[in-house]
Amino acid sequence: MAQPSLTIGSGKGVSSSWWAARSAGGVLALRAAARGVRIDKLALYEPPFILDERGPRPPADFELWLKELVASDRRGDAVKFFMTKGMGAPALFVAMMRFRPVWSRLKALAHTLPYDYAVMGDTVAGKPLSAEQWASVTAPTLVVVGEKTFARARRAGRALADVLVNADYRLLEGQNSKVSMKALAPVLEEFFMSHGDARSVDEPSRVEVGR
């Protein structure tokens, strides 16, 4: 699970609406665009779709158990449950995260997990994305996925870019779900400051950092 975030900005001196979001925040932004909220440019980092019906998917009672863990203030258990049963992360991967500084930040946000799941809705049901569902999202969109993230996330990012009418897909070299903003920021700056429609890029973006 990545900490969801959504940032809304505008170009200096112009009336523009630029949105950047990651994880479940990306799905929230997509749903807003689909419902007619003005978005002139949209950048998404690893919206956590689950599109393969053969892979792990949330169980039928997932939402019930998640809310129970949160209500009981079992924050660590809620994060583990969300990541393993909801997002299909390997149990060993989650166990290792418990010893990293990010774990305390994830636990602090545990009470928001039911909202994340509500936003995701049918996008974690193991069904292919529908072009019709997202047909009204016409703004130039950048879908970025870390080169080192799980293969399922890379496939989902590619699938999303394929169904959107004006999308650019990029792999960010050396990154996973816990993306470094030093690596991501130049890519976002390039996208938001550029003009014209999006295009598809299959090769990893190579970004010079610290110069």
pLDDT at 3 exceeding the cut of 80: no
Look at residue 16 in the predicted model and tell me its pLDDT.
Answer: 76
pLDDT at 204: 42
Please give the domain boundaries of the chain with CATH numbers for all domains: 5-49+129-205 (3.40.50.1820), 62-122 (no CATH)
**Mean pLDDT score, 160-178:** 94
pLDDT at 199: 45
- Mean pLDDT taken over the chain: 86
Give the pLDDT mean for 103-130.
93
Does the pLDDT at position 4 exceed 70? no
What does the block give as tokens for 162?
Answer: 């394929």
Confidence of residue 7 (pLDDT cuts 50, 70, 90): low
* Cα separation values, 178 from 1, 23, 191, Å: 9, 10, 21
Average pLDDT value for residue range 46-70:
91
Identify the weakest region by mean pLDDT among 7-11, 143-147, 148-152: 7-11
Whose CA is closest to 107, among 81, 146, 89?
Answer: 81
Q: What is the DSSP string of 132-194?
A: TTTTT--S-EEEEEETTS-HHHHHHHHHHHHHSTTEEEEEETT--SS--HHHHHHHHHHHHH-
pLDDT of residue 167: 96
24 burial class (0-12, 13-18, 19+ CB within 10 angstroms)? buried
CB-CB contact of 2 with 116 (8 Å): no
Predicted local distance difference test score (pLDDT) of residue 155: 92
